[in-house]
Amino acid sequence: MADSAQAQKLVYLVTGGCGFLGEHVVRMLLQREPRLRELRIFDLQLGPWLEELKTGPVQVTAIQGDVTQAHEVIAAVAGAHVVIHAAGLVDVFGRASPETIHEVNVQGTKNVIEACVQTGTQFLVYTSSMEVVGPNVKGHPFYRGNEDTPYEAVHRHPYPHSKALAEQLVLKANGRKVRGGLPLVTCALRPTGIYGEGHQIMRDIYYQGLRLGGRLFRAIPASVEHGRVYVGNVAWMHVLVARELEQRAALMGGQVYFCYDKSPYKSYEDFNMEFLGPCGLRLVGTRPLLPYWLLMLLAALNALLQWLLRPLLLYAPLLNPYTLAVANTTFTVSTNKAQRHFGYEPLFSWEDSRTRTIRWVQAMDGSAQ
Ligand SMILES: NC(=O)c1ccc[n+]([C@@H]2O[C@H](COP(=O)([O-])OP(=O)(O)OC[C@H]3O[C@@H](n4cnc5c(N)ncnc54)[C@H](O)[C@@H]3O)[C@@H](O)[C@H]2O)c1
Ligand SMILES: CC(C)CCC[C@@H](C)[C@H]1CC[C@H]2[C@@H]3[C@H](O)C=C4C[C@@H](O)CC[C@]4(C)[C@H]3CC[C@]12C
């Protein structure tokens, strides 16, 4: 008993802890980090599910706050041993302005780094993205690459641009002296397209399929591979990195790691069918039903409509020139860097990840389309 009381000494802060990934990180920490004394969850919007966590042995502190507000971030970070910075504005559909995306993703990350430095927090894990590498605007394939694979990263879209700038800030901050004189240890995790329970885009596509009479129409050739990783494994990587950063600071500090697991290499649409198929949806066509030039035209039309309608309403469909380019460019990773550096093995097999995701889709209310 005395041992476990003594062992429970760490204070963790998860920014964006109520988001899709953040919730999984929070739950994983509570299950798999026995040294936790307090878990602070910082988010713009707090989820009602947090209440149920407050009855456990770890003190769960919910903090409604905005990463763009430096004073709010400092107050949340003060006294934390580890910060997992997963808050971000994930928008590739033109819902938010480029300035807002920059403010949240870049200035927000600067605020987190400065808060660590000012308050003496030594360990910072940043949720980056595969998008800091690519796909690039030239449509170059990244075929089962790793962290060292050369690739021409060119960003024109505000979201990947902001993630790339934020990642650079985090990596550059590694080694800075925090209050008390110890060095800040940082690293960045780069998930590919995350899937699993709570994935909003999967939900949208499922409902779209239901509205279309249980059908989805193939738009992307089956040969285009899109990297995907299960949310539980991404969360597990965050927990492991946070745990190992202290012991392996020299090796892991300033490093980037792709998030990977045993999810199969498939096109975006074929991969989604692994879950949507067993839930009654069918992907029509072995080849794209529309020629690529027509899809590009439709995507451009959507972008034009978005611009024209902006004063009246927000028109933000899934298809736009950027999402089409991402879905239509092979981008997959094959690496074991996380295994070599901190012993990562996926916690969930592909079969588990698939079953859990299917169960979640099945539990959705089909009438809520
Ligand atoms: N979803 C993916 O496929 C994917 C892939 C790679 C990387 N990522 C990264 O993972 C992180 C989490 O993404 P997600 O998919 O869970 O998105 P999400 O939108 O579900 O979660 C982001 C969370 O951040 C919070 N947030 C946004 N602005 C904030 C602000 N100003 N202050 C405080 N909190 C704020 C949101 O309220 C939300 O809860 C992001 O940094 C994203 O860039 C996501
Ligand atoms: C062209 C249509 C037929 C299909 C549109 C699908 C499109 C909305 C999907 C395809 C790929 C998706 C992105 C990809 O999985 C990886 C990421 C990285 C992450 O950091 C943020 C989300 C994002 C950009 C996904 C967004 C949705 C995309 C573009």
268 C-beta closer than 6 A to ligand 2: yes
Q: If we measure between CA atoms, which residue out of 190, 29, 168 comes closest to residue 109?
A: 168
Query: Residue 138: its pLDDT value, please?
Result: 86
Q: If we measure between CA atoms, which residue out of 11, 24, 14 comes closest to residue 112?
A: 14
HEC-encoded secondary structure of the chain: CHHHHHHCCEEEEEECCCCHHHHHHHHHHHHHCCCEEEEEEEECCCCCCHHHHCCCCCEEEEEECCCCCHHHHHHHHCCCCEEEECCCCCCCCCCCCHHHHHHHHHHHHHHHHHHHHHHCCCEEEEECCHHHCCCCCCCCCEEEECCCCCCCCCCCCHHHHHHHHHHHHHHHCCCCECCCCCECEEEEEEECEEECCCCHHHHHHHHHHHHCCCEEECCCCCCCCECEEEHHHHHHHHHHHHHHCCCCHHHHCCEEEEECCCCCCECHHHHHHHHHCCCCCEEECCCCCCCHHHHHHHHHHHHHHHHHHCCCCCCCCCCCHHHHHHHCCCEEECCCHHHHHHCCCCCCCHHHHHHHHHHHHHCCCHHHC
Atom of ligand 2 nearest to the CA of 318: 8
pTM score of the predicted model: 0.96
User: Position 255: which residue type?
Assistant: Q
Which residues, given as ranges, of the chain have pLDDT below 70? 1-7, 366-369
CB-based contacts of 192: which residues, under 8 Å, 6+ apart?
Answer: 130, 226, 227, 228, 229, 258, 259, 260, 331, 332, 333
Whether this model's ipTM surpasses 0.95 comes out as yes
The dihedral of CA 266, 270, 274, 276: what is its sign? positive
Beta bridge partners of 11: 38
CA of 16 to the centre of ligand 1 (A): 6
Best mutation site among 21, 90, 130, 201 for ligand 2, i.e. most ligand atoms within 8 A of its Cβ?
201
Q: If we measure between CA atoms, which residue out of 324, 328, 344, 347 comes closest to residue 336?
A: 344
303 C-beta closer than 6 A to ligand 2: no
CA of 86 to the centre of ligand 1 (A): 6
Q: Under a CB-based contact definition with an 8 Å cutoff, are residues 30 and 36 in contact?
A: yes
86 C-beta closer than 6 A to ligand 2: no
pLDDT single digits (tens) 5-49:
446 799 999 999 999 999 999 999 999 999 999 999 999 999 999
CA of 253 to the centre of ligand 2 (A): 29
Query: Residue 212: its pLDDT value, please?
Result: 95
Best mutation site among 127, 216, 267, 268 for ligand 2, i.e. most ligand atoms within 8 A of its Cβ?
268
Atom of ligand 1 nearest to the CA of 66: 32
Atom of ligand 2 nearest to the CA of 227: 15
Please identify which residue in the block is written with the tokens 């193939």: 218
Residue nearest to atom 25 of ligand 2 (CA): 193
Query: Residue 1: its pLDDT value, please?
Result: 37
Q: Under a CB-based contact definition with an 8 Å cutoff, are residues 88 and 163 in contact?
A: yes
- Ligand 1 neighbours, Cβ below 6 Å, are 16, 18-22, 43-45, 66-68, 86-90, 104, 108, 127, 129, 163, 191, 193-194
Q: Give CA–CA dist 86/105, Å, rounded.
A: 10
Best mutation site among 302, 326, 328, 332 for ligand 2, i.e. most ligand atoms within 8 A of its Cβ?
326
> Any idea which ligand is nearest the CA of 268?
2
> Any idea which ligand is nearest the CA of 167?
1
CA of 93 to the centre of ligand 2 (A): 9
What are the structural domain ranges in the chain? 2-199+228-264+332-349
Q: If we measure between CA atoms, which residue out of 150, 241, 156 comes closest to residue 191?
A: 241
> Any idea which ligand is nearest the CA of 109?
1
CA of 202 to the centre of ligand 2 (A): 10
Q: Rounded to whole angstroms, what are the CA distances from 105 to 17, 90, 229, 261, 317?
A: 15, 9, 22, 26, 22
**Any idea which residues carry the catalytic annotation?**
159
Q: Give CA–CA dist 257/122, Å, rounded.
A: 19
pLDDT single digits (tens) 191-214:
999 999 999 999 999 999 999 999
Query: Residue 367: its pLDDT value, please?
Result: 63
CATH class of 2-199+228-264+332-349: alpha beta
CA of 45 to the centre of ligand 1 (A): 11
> Any idea which ligand is nearest the CA of 44?
1
Q: How many of the other CB atoms lie within 10 Å of CB of 8? A: 16
Q: Give CA–CA dist 169/309, Å, rounded.
A: 36
Atom of ligand 1 nearest to the CA of 191: 6
Query: Residue 6: its pLDDT value, please?
Result: 47
- Angle between helices 350-362 and 200-211 in degrees, nearest 10: 50
Structure tokens at 277: 């198929």
Query: Residue 3: its pLDDT value, please?
Result: 47
